[in-house]
Amino acid sequence: MKFSIITLFPNLINSYISESIIKRAIEKNSIEVEVIDLRNHTTLKHNQVDDYQFGGGKGMVLMVEPVVNAIESCKTQNSLVVLTSPQGKTWNQNSARIYASNYDHIILICGHYEGFDERILDYIDLEISIGDYVLTGGEIASIVILDSITRLLDGVIAKDSHLNDSFENNLLDHPVFTKPIEFRGKIVPEVLTSGHHANIEKYRQEGRLRNTFNKRPDLLEKSELSKSDLEFINKLKKVKGDN
């Protein structure tokens, strides 16, 4: 899968993609990342890419021409053109799954300053927001989108390990532990060191349900629960009701 990231701050993107799992994914050719410096696509003096907004008002607005030139420098018939913006559709794990399996080339445009010339919208397929807050720019949003898609691609992380991720079937992940077995009197649940796989899986499923019930009860309505899951949730509700 290829990502083309159009940005005013190429160093920000380059620094993230040159570390850790994304770096490995690039080395293994699971992804290709092209970082496009918006300033290389303006025809104006001093590499100008923004200007004051018509009608008055504070802040600089990204100009349409350099953005369109940058898109056209990398767009092919199979590209999806995404603008990161707080006005977009909110990104979530399900979006990451859909994009990971349906697209070969995603162009991510990092918005900046007070906004962008509205005419840019004619050249994009959709706007994506990573949450209801305003960032100083779209670089972090682009990295969030790139990272959450990449880790779902074949061969990037251990096979099927994302099947245990939070948000799989709209449940949060179960608690996990590592060495030491005892820390300041707190001991790792015995079942996890028992070697009994069925009991471990039961403990983990109950952990997913308990975590979701306590931290994100809104997700439970969207998850597909078995009869035993529902019985366990009813137990949790009863305990909560008793307190």
| Region of 10-18, 30-38, 97-105, 128-136 interacting with ligand ADE (CB under 6 A) | 128-136
The reply, when asked if residue 133 is annotated as ligand binding, is: yes
Shortest CB 108 distance to ligand ADE, Å = 10
Could you say which of 43, 122, 134, 180 contacts ligand ADE (CB under 6 A)? 134
Active site residue 114: yes
Active site residue 175: no
Interface with ligand ADE, residue 135, by CB under 6 A = yes
Active site residue 151: yes
> For residues 135, 136, 142 and 143, what is the CA-based torsion angle, rounded to 10 degrees?
-90
Residue closest to ligand ADE (Cβ): 141
Q: What is the DSSP string of the chain?
A: -EEEEEES-HHHHHHHHTSHHHHHHHHTTS-EEEEEEGGGG--SGGG--EEEPTT--SSEEE-HHHHHHHHHHH--TTEEEEEEEEEEEEP-HHHHHHHHHH-SEEEEEE-BTTEE-GGGGGG-SEEEESSSS--SBSHHHHHHHHHHHHTTSTTTSSTTGGGGSTTBTTBPPPP---S-SEETTEE--GGGGS--HHHHHHHHHHHHHHHHHHH-HHHHTTS---HHHHHHHHHHHHHHHH-
The reply, when asked if residue 131 is annotated as ligand binding, is: yes
Interface with ligand ADE, residue 130, by CB under 6 A = yes
- # residues near ligand ADE by CB under 6 A: 12
Shortest CB 39 distance to ligand ADE, Å = 19
Interface with ligand ADE, residue 141, by CB under 6 A = yes
Interface with ligand ADE, residue 163, by CB under 6 A = no
| Region of 71-79, 94-102, 133-141, 182-190 interacting with ligand ADE (CB under 6 A) | 133-141
Interface with ligand ADE, residue 148, by CB under 6 A = no
Q: Which residues are catalytic?
A: 86, 114, 151, 165
Residues forming the site for ligand ADE (CB under 6 A)? 84-86, 111, 129-131, 133-135, 138, 141
